[in-house]
Each structure stands twice: as structure tokens, then as C-alpha cells.
A = this chain, B = another copy of it.
Amino acid sequence: MTDTATPNVTIHPFDDAIHLDTLGNGRYRGRTTEAYRNMVGPYGGITAAVMLQALLQRPERLGDPVALTVNFAGPVRDGAFEIATREIRTSRSTQHWFAEMVQEPDSDVSTTATAVFGTRRETWRHTEASPPSLPPRETLIAARKSTSAPWSERYDRRTINDLDAGVARSWVADVPPRPLDFPSLASLCDAIRPWLFVRRPQPTPIGTVTLNVYFHAAADELAAIDAAPLKVVARTNVIRRGFFDQEAQVWSPDGALIATTQQVVWFKA
């Protein structure tokens, strides 16, 4: 995608959306973009990504993200926002952070996040989980985009809903393709179609209230995946009394588990 103001500079819409200006004292200024707009306000995944991006900008930051929790406390309005970051504590192997997003004029907090960073040294290793079985990506049809939710055009999602197993298996890729990093992986964790819509096709108002991401790969490992489409297997355990959960595994195409993610979603039905 070409930036219309400076046509010889190419900037990916994701990088545009997570761009932050440094304000000092751990504060950053950004703004929502049309490319990741949802029906009302921005797509939750891009908000998670920009919260993480603020922490990644901190010069004190050590190591790679290991865990990220983003709480969607209230609506993010289209326009400018500020993110204040706070270093909670740093030890030899981990570093803990808190971040909150506010918007003028009322300075209400729309979003909070906590994150754990860690030093990813080599250790004994063992993988228990198995990658999902998925047909070749080319044989699947991409999910329809929604014109009222432009963010849906930012992902190529090819999903098989296994109603017997209660599992959705997908190929997911950024549109246009973009080298994988922690913010884009965090954003992708929110891109799976809610299972509620599979089980109950009526229009249902929903909103994610909290999103959790555990990163199982280091920065160099994500960089090696480059822009390859990822495999995602997602499941919802229970839908009841106003909330449902979703949990998912994100796998590299060659079978490395790179993230696990969970969220709780409010719904009205």
C-alpha cells in the first residue's frame, strides 16, 4: 500500500495503525485509522497491538513479550489517543509493565494492559500440543469481508468450522502480507470469528472485554516466519449468562506453536 502523501514511501496499514509519537515520561500518542476500523471504533486486535507497541518503544524494555493481557474497559473513539506506560518491576529474567489508554476530552480510560517480558535463553524443551490438521490454504475459500468493518479486509481468513469437535481451524494472513512481529501476532489473536455466530446465527451484539496472549516464540523466531500465513485453531468452551470465552493456538506453517490466546466476550442474547 502506498502512502498517498508521499507516493515513493510504502507503509503497511498495520505499521500506520500502530505508529506512536513519543511524548516523554513513558507516554505515547497515536490515533485510530480507517484501515482497522470496526463497526464502532477500532478492531480490538489493533488496540491490543498498539498497547504492546507502546511497551516495545520503552528504552528500558528487556527481552521479548511473554504474556500480554488487554482489558477493554470502554469504547475507543475514532481519533487520537494517549498511552501511558509504567515499569512495574524488573528482575534478572522477567520485566513487568502496565499501560493505559486515555482519550480527550474526558480522559476516561478505554483500555488497560499488563505485560510480562522475558529473556528467551536456550533451555530444555518439549512440545506437548500438536498442530491442527488443515487442508492446503489454496483449497479453501477466504471468509467474506464486511464493508461495515474495514478491519476484516486486513486479514485473509480461511476457516473450517468443525461442528462435531466444536473447533474452528483457520489459515490467517495479514493483507497485504507483512513480516510477523509481536504486535501483528497479538492483533491476529483477535481475528477469529466468534463461535457464538456459528452456533447461533442471529445478529447478536458482542464485545471483547479481555484478551490474553502468551507468546511462545522469541523475536528471531517470529522474524524467520516472515509473512507466511499462520494456522489457528480456536475453540469456545462455554456461552452463558452474558459472556463466552474463546481460546486459540497459533501455529507457524512448519509446525511451531508460537502463541496461545484466550478472551472473554460480552454478548446480549
| A residues lining the B interface (CB < 8 Å) | 66-67, 69, 71, 73-74, 88-89, 91, 93-94, 96, 98, 100, 108-110, 112, 114, 116, 118-129, 166, 195-196, 199-200, 209-210, 212, 214, 216, 218, 235-243, 245, 247, 249, 257, 260, 262, 264, 266-269
Contact = CB atoms under 8 A, between A and B. Distances in A.
Contact of A89 (B108, B119, B216): B108
B89 A109 contact: yes
A212 B71 contact: no
A245 B74 contact: no
In the complex, the 10 A-B pairs of residues with the closest C-beta atoms, listed nearest first: A125-B240, A73-B89, A73-B96, A128-B166, A129-B237, A124-B269, A69-B69, A120-B241, A67-B210, A126-B239
Given A71-B116, A262-B262, 13 more contacts: A71-B88, A73-B88, A73-B89, A73-B94, A88-B109, A89-B110, A119-B242, A123-B240, A127-B240, A128-B195, A128-B199, A245-B260, A247-B247
Contacts of A257: 237-238
A55 to B, nearest CB: 13
Main SS class of interface, A: strand
Nearest to A126: B239
24 contacts: A66-B209, A66-B210, A67-B71, A67-B210, A69-B114, A71-B96, A73-B94, A74-B89, A89-B110, A98-B98, A116-B209, A116-B210, A120-B243, A122-B241, A123-B267, A125-B240, A126-B239, A126-B240, A127-B239, A128-B237, A128-B238, A128-B239, A237-B249, A247-B247
Contact of A112 (B98, B166, B235, B260): B98
Contacts of A249: 237
Given A236-B128, A247-B260, A67 B114 contact: no
